[in-house]
Structure 1
């Protein structure tokens, strides 16, 4: 039988075995630790200036102070220098973002084999010497050394985000170089102040020159520029010129896609700049109202405010707690974390600037009202900056629930001032597109002006003439060959038109050609467009245009012609129906939109929608989700939805039935025609952004006014007011007879006379005042038997001094009754 120890004895043995093993392990660790202290390690020390790296060997038990002395033995830089009771360090060692204490050992600091430390030494020494020296010679010598060190430091920075580049640049902050330079800058000595100012500016300028990639510059240099701003704000104040320079340099980094670089500058870092600039701008706006004299806002303040806000908006959009828009209930629940106060601060900035801007617009409207009592218009040269503020406020308003609606409501109230400014300050069509797409705060003249700018910006001033020789009997075919097959670029220059066997050329012939070719395009015989039953001047694409194999090419041609007519400001006496315009603008077609295009279908759909529910459900209409299309003389049934033949229209689905029917008749059936017309129109506009927004800035009737011109009868008084005389005087009997005869003409006769005189079929909406020049009546020495002649390109009507009113009446009757569109006179 095996002998067993008592339980207590067994436990003691296990304890003793464990204790012995632990003691052995501890002894082994002590040996290893002692060995590590006696085994040298190698590490690297990178110097601040010059880009040099030292190789240092030491033991883990060595102190940081001993490492400083090793560096001194290599570089000659003294580790400690005492100029007063308090010693001043010439060297600082940085490891993993922390300055190493002299009494620490390398083991305590965690320095291991092949690690890299950063050394700050000579630059701080130079700055320290500058702060304490008073001899001009020493000051100049140290300034030269300091400038060279800063230049060398930048020159040795790893380029374009290479390994170690960010760590290398962090030394600038770790070694308190910005603080040291600012200390020198605020010293009483003017020479020292200028030296520090020059060094800081040169350093920042060199950063911009040496590093061009915006993302790299932001990631590497934004912390340095921010440090300069922070120290200068406290030491010199926000009105200091060097602070403003540093702030401006930092603001310039906020553009582009730098918001994709995370953990560089936070919202808390940037918002103070926004608040500071917004306060300055709000004060200037308020002062403008108080003085009733619009102050020139600082262009740099406005620019920097917008640049900093770009970064702030990106930070707010990343806040997932708010979803799509910021709401104040969410802010009050602290869901924004540490950035809650800044997000509330941006809201306060918005409200304050909007209030001040609205007051300025109100004051402008008051001053505009004084124009009518003899005062001139207010000076508005400075207002471009005011509009830039409004544009930024509109952008900020999109971040918060309810603010965008509030912003546009206030702009509607100040519509008069806003339109005045846009009209006076507009240069490029893209400048104020953010306003124009809110049509309710503008009027027709403003929208027309910018639509024409979109077309004009694509023109090439030095482009050669695009010449066309057109046969009147083949006008449509010849025009299609010239326009439809031309390169878009060639059409954006000047057009030169001449009809075969005719000498006349110039703007008058061009206007006549536009009128004639548009008549052909919209002629029902060509089957390209259909006119509205109740208004023969309104057109939309013909679903049956496919009868002509070239119909889609003709729609491209039509789009180009319409755009060119707008470009050359020729009214062509046609208009687009709403269903056509909405599709060009990329908007949906509703049941109400087809009222003019197809009154019969509209009436039928309206009855279906208004019919008693019970009657519809009893299938009195016997309708299913199908419709009939006519194509090349035959009719075919088309299903409006899957299994449409078997889907009965009832009270539950009748809205959907009407919607699908409208979409089929006025969207699907003409989709290709609309797309090709839009393509041709866009060929005349070069900028793709403008191609997409041209129709969005216009109302439906805006485009029709531009195309058709005035729909009112020609005013004889307006005509007289815009007519000059050459060879005649205003009170000559021939002139009195002429206007009396014109006054007695029918509306049609006046239109014919106007076309004979100018090649204009419809006046602009503004009447004769909308033409590019006044009209002229010239006296000739021709026989009294001669008919009047015209030079349409110059708006000239020429006739001899007829002996009586009856003779003149007879000659004008011949013109107005027999003129059928052929060319008259020499251009």
Structure 2
């Protein structure tokens, strides 16, 4: 048999639509063929049978048995391919069917082929003389039968591969199907989807949902495997990188697997496309280059699909197998992002960042699975002397250390920028620049994930953060909401208050500006607490997370100022000792802890849930209500234990007694006749509570006194009020975006931080600071009325100043930064009202409407009047 090649030739005696393929016998002349589209005929061959498309029938078969070939040396016949092309061929009588198939495979018609004539499959070892074909007979080319339940998938995948190969090999006679390669691929994808649907319908109704989902994914995964085995992916890439004018159709076909939007692929197919995408990435990176846009699109989609926990083939189903294949692409995306961050503009696209994060998410998940979640792997697995030095373990570690080094350079550059200008200027110099710099935090976040795998990475990351405190704090202060930054809670001692505050605000809902999303309330001032309780305690927590819209009955005022006032008034009523829910600390009346005698109110548990929600909502709306929590309550919310030093403010008497016991000698303790029990008041009666089983029979001595004090504190500040604490905690947790973040919320803060956020500043109001943050409309700073106004304010008591500020802004306690911490400047507007009228305010806009009082006596009189509590809590004009 001669070697296989192809050339074009024309024979007027042959069918005009059938190009030539010549198979010459062993006379050293090559097998020759030529193919073209036959629009007038359609193939009836499939994976199981075929019939003669040119009219060959049983008659032709009988003739074949009795008629000799047209020439003792040469035969001419036609082959009808699966893509509807008719191929004219020449062959020698002693050529085998296998030789014909080899030639067709070489011409790009597929790898697994068979020839059929008159409805029967021809044996590859049979010669053409044995078959005894009549002149101009037609054979049918079909995909080889396979032991699979998806024959149509095999046929379609082979058709795609053959069509793409034909378009690449012969642009002059490109098959018609090449113009619709993308439609063929879409049909293949839909066939996989339909196979899943068919399998789901055949499942027993009693089977579990997860079993149905898993089984339904099997058929789609098998289709994807068929697509690869049939060589469809390879053929499409070869056509795309060829010089064929039809490469565009290959690009469209490949893009069928690129998910540009969530609905572009059926979800059951999308989650199992990773093997195809991986194959496209490999082939395109080698043949087209890493800068090719189609390659980058495939790589980006691969990262997205892998991050959704897809169903993977065996080659990718083990951590080692998946990481080995993904690691080169992850390295590419890391370099792209780092190069952008190290550039002068620090520009990194959000698309590149997402791709980077998706790849590293997958790699970290698989690596943690590989180490079985037992903590960082031993250093001897990835250090330079390790025998694993050339494995993914070492390469992934080296990537992380390279990332640390380049981020160190980025932070150094950023620190130099901060040094060249004040931080206040740097923070406001441009949102685009800050958005770019904030990408450094995303990279640091990925390193934190990797630190759970490599102990050295965690240690190096901490040193990096410590050496760059200033730029780190600037980044966290100005970063926008990002739940993935919660890992910084571990490094809260490196962060300043403003940075920690921004982190905890990320755990609270943002609320909605659209009134349709707000929880609306109409409150009667005379029933403030009861009606507020009904609106808040009865609401679903999702309704509250959208924000609040507040209005008092028979009052026109609405907006943020009204809401701020409502928060302050509700907290003032809720934490009043008259409600018996909370007790003020003896030495700090603004600080409260839970009252263990609250059970006198039958609704006390629901009110504790209400109180927890109010505190959470006040933090969410950034309202300083003037109420702060005692350390014992703060520690419980943070999930921490309470020690002796923690009760000094809530119960100074008990604290002093316990300290004295710790200082006594053995005889003094024995003379106290203490037991492991304590007395308590409950509904007017005195009762004894054991601190441990049989506590009344166990004496306190010098050896067990510390244990006694621990149990006493736990029983008093936790056990005796555990039900109330749980309801208060649940109410607060209802407001958080993620209830599992409650401990992180309080771990990120010190008690003093929470005091600033919730209670505001309790310092004396600085009138000079007040003046510097006030602007005028209708007045000028040196006008007589303005001069008189500030003199009158300066003479007020601290409480009068607070009431005046509250009347003006609905802010009674300033943020910790003072007036600069407010959302805007304050304004004094000149009015034409009669001098007999009191000033009015528009609290939403921080506006005080001041008539032009003519004397100091008049100014002081009017301001002191509105500084009275019952006046400062009512609104003027809107």
Give the equivalent residue in structure 2 for 1:173: 228
Q: Which residue of 1 aligns with 2:449?
A: 395
CA gap of 1:322–1:448, structure 2 versus 1, over 3 A, is closer
Where relative contact order (Cα < 8 A, 6+ residues apart) is larger, the structure is: 1
The match for 1:703 among 751, 754, 757 is 754
Q: Give yes or no for contact 1:223–1:265 (8 Å, CA) kept in 2.
A: no
Task: Show the 5 A alignment for 1:307-346.
Answer: 307-320=358-371, 323-331=374-382, 341-346=391-396
Alpha-carbon displacement from aligned partner over 1:203-256 (angstroms, at most 9, x marks no partner): 666999786345x6555x333332232233333332333332332232222122
- Which structure 1 residue ranges, 5 or more long, are not aligned? 1-48, 57-71, 96-100, 105-110
Classify the secondary structure of the residue corresponding to 1:281: helix
1:166-224 CA distances to partner (integer Å, 9 max, x unpaired)? Answer: 4554343334343343333333x25254343333334666999786345x6555x3333
Deviation at 1:343, TM superposition (A): 1.4
Name which of 281, 291, 294 aligns with 1:239: 291
How has the CA–CA distance of structure 1 residues 609 and 341 changed in structure 2, closer, same or farther, with 3 Å as cutoff? farther
- Displacement after TM superposition at 1:366 (Å): 1.6
Q: Does 1:249 align with 2:301?
A: yes
1:529 CA drift (Å): 0.7
The 5-angstrom pairing of residues 103-114 of structure 1 reads: none
**Structural mapping, 1:479-628, within 5 Å:** 479-485=532-538, 492-498=546-552, 508=561, 510-609=563-662, 622-628=673-679
CA distance in 2, matches of 1:112, 1:776: 85
Cα distance in structure 2, aligned partners of 1:578 and 1:386: 35
Secondary structure of 1:642 counterpart: coil
Q: Scaled by the length of structure 2, what TM-score is found?
A: 0.73
Partners of 1:328 and 1:52 in 2: CA distance: 58
Mapped partners of 1:728, 1:205: distance in 2: 61
Q: Which whole-Å deviations, capped at 9, do the CAs of 1:102-159 have from their partners, x for residues lacking one?
A: 789xxxxxx9998889789655554443343252xx1364623755654554444473
Aligned ranges 1:374-389 → 2 under 5 Å: 377=429, 379-389=433-443
Cα distance in structure 1, aligned partners of 2:443 and 2:717: 43
**SS at 1:357 equivalent:** helix
CA spacing shift, 1:74–1:778, aligned 2, 3 Å? closer
Give how far 1:359 is off. 2.0
1:229 is aligned to 2:286 = no
Shift of 1:536: 1.5
Using the alignment, how far apart are the partners of 1:462 and 1:682 within structure 2? Answer: 24
Deviation at 1:807, TM superposition (A): 4.6
CA drift of 1:367 comes to 0.9
| Shift in CA distance, 280/517, structure 1 to aligned 2, threshold 3 Å | closer
Residue of structure 2 in register with 1:661 after alignment:
712
CA distance in 2, matches of 1:627, 1:259: 61
For the 8 Å contact 1:454–1:690, the answer to whether it is kept is yes
Q: Matched residues in 2 for 1:678 and 1:386: separation?
A: 35
Cα distance in 2, alignment partners of residues 753 and 823 from structure 1: 12
Alignment of 1:289-300 (within 5 A): 289=342, 293-300=344-351
Instruction: Report the CA distance shift for 1:762/1:242 in structure 2 as closer, same or farther (over 3 A).
Output: closer
What is residue 248 of structure 2 aligned with on the other side? 194
Give 1:327 deviation, angstroms. Answer: 1.8
Instruction: Output one character per residue of 1:601-648: Cα deviation in whole Å (capped at 9) or x when no partner.
Output: 333334445666x779x9566443322222123222222222333444
Sort the Cα spacing of 1:754 and 1:346 in 2 relative to 1 into closer, same or farther, 3 A. same
Q: Does 1:678 align with 2:729?
A: yes
Rate the CA distance shift 1:51–1:448 in 2: closer, same or farther, 3 A.
Answer: farther
Q: 1:283 to 1:149 in 2, by over 3 A?
A: closer
Counterpart Cα distance in 2 of 1:726 and 1:526: 44
SS at match of 2:454: coil
Moved more, 197-206 or 769-778: 197-206
- CA distance change for structure 1 residues 151 and 675 in 2, over 3 Å: closer, same or farther? closer
Q: Partner residue of 2:48? A: 54
Look up the SS of the partner of 2:649 in the other structure.
coil
Asked if residue 432 in structure 1 is aligned to residue 485 in structure 2, the reply is yes
- For residues 479 and 313 of structure 2, the distance between their equivalents in structure 1, rounded to whole angstroms, comes to 37
Give how far 1:697 is off.
Answer: 4.1
Number of the residue aligned with 1:347: 397
Structure 2 counterpart of 1:132 = 169
1:159 aligns with 2:209: no
The aligned counterpart of 1:415 is: 469
The equivalent position to 2:352 in structure 1, one of 285, 301, 306, is: 301
Q: Distance in 1 between matches of 2:261 and 2:110?
A: 25
Q: What pairs with 1:710-721 in structure 2 (closer than 5 Å)?
A: 710-721=761-772
Residue 723 of structure 1 deviates from its aligned partner by 1.9
1:642 to 655, 675, 693: 693
| 1:61-105 deviation per Cα after TM superposition (whole angstroms, max 9, x unaligned) | xxxxxxxxxxx899899754499899668564499xxxxx9789x
Contact kept? 1:533, 1:597, Cα under 8 Å: yes
Question: Match of 1:760?
Answer: 811
For residues 638-685 of structure 1, give each alpha carbon's deviation from its aligned partner in whole angstroms, at most 9, with x where no partner exists.
222223334444566544433222221111122222222233334555
Deviation, structure 1 residue 762 = 1.5
Judge conservation of contact 2:807–2:873 (CA < 8 Å) in 1. Answer: no
Equivalent position SS for 1:54: coil
Contact 1:571 1:709 in 2 (8 A): yes
In 2, distance between residues paired with 1:743 and 1:233? Answer: 74
Deviations 1:10-64 (A, max 9, x none): xxxxxxxxxxxxxxxxxxxxxxxxxxxxxxxxxxxxxxx99944279xxxxxxxx
Query: Matched residue pairs, number?
Result: 741
Quote the RMSD (CA, aligned, Å): 4.4
Unaligned runs of 5+ in 2: 1-42, 51-78, 88-96, 115-122, 127-143, 197-214
In structure 2, relative to structure 1, the CA distance for the partners of 1:615 and 1:330 (3 Å cut) is farther
CA–CA distance in structure 1, aligned partners of residues 791 and 99 of structure 2:
106
1:435-479 per-residue CA deviation (whole Å, 9 max, x = no partner) reads: 35643343333444454565553447233773434244x544454
Task: Report what 1:6 is aligned to.
Answer: none
Moved more, 519-528 or 234-243: 234-243
Instruction: Quote the Cα distance in structure 2 between the aligned partners of 1:509 and 1:203.
Output: 54
**Is the contact between residue 804 and residue 872 of structure 2 (CA under 8 Å) also seen in structure 1?**
no
Cα distance in 2 for partners of 1:394, 1:698 equals: 20
Give the superposition deviation at 1:731: 1.1
Cα pair 1:282 1:352 within 8 Å, conserved? no
SS at match of 1:777: strand
Contact in 2 for aligned 1:778/1:799 (Cα 8 Å)? yes
Q: CA separation of 1:90/1:670 partners in 2, compared to 1, >3 Å: closer, same or farther?
A: same
SS of 1:536's partner is strand
Partner of 1:281: 334
| Structure 2 CA distance for aligned equivalents of residues 510 and 146 of structure 1 | 62
Q: Answer whether contact 2:376 2:455 (CA < 8 A) is retained.
A: yes
Report the CA distance between 1:344 and its aligned residue.
Answer: 1.6
Shift of 1:783: 5.8
Cα separation, 2, equivalents of 1:422 and 1:82: 67
Contact 1:528/1:545 (CA < 8 Å) preserved in 2?
yes
Asked if the contact 2:316/2:322 (under 8 Å) is kept, the reply is no
**Superposition TM-score, scaled by structure 1 size:** 0.77
Residues 244-280 of structure 1: per-residue CA shift (max 9 Å, x gap): 2332232222122337875435534544543444355
**Would you say the 8 A contact 2:270–2:305 is kept in 1?**
yes
Distance 1:513 1:620 in 2: 54
Alpha-carbon spacing, 1:623–1:264, altered in 2? closer, same or farther (3 Å): same
> Would the aligned equivalents of 1:726 and 1:777 in 2 still touch at CA under 8 Å?
yes
SS at match of 2:815: coil
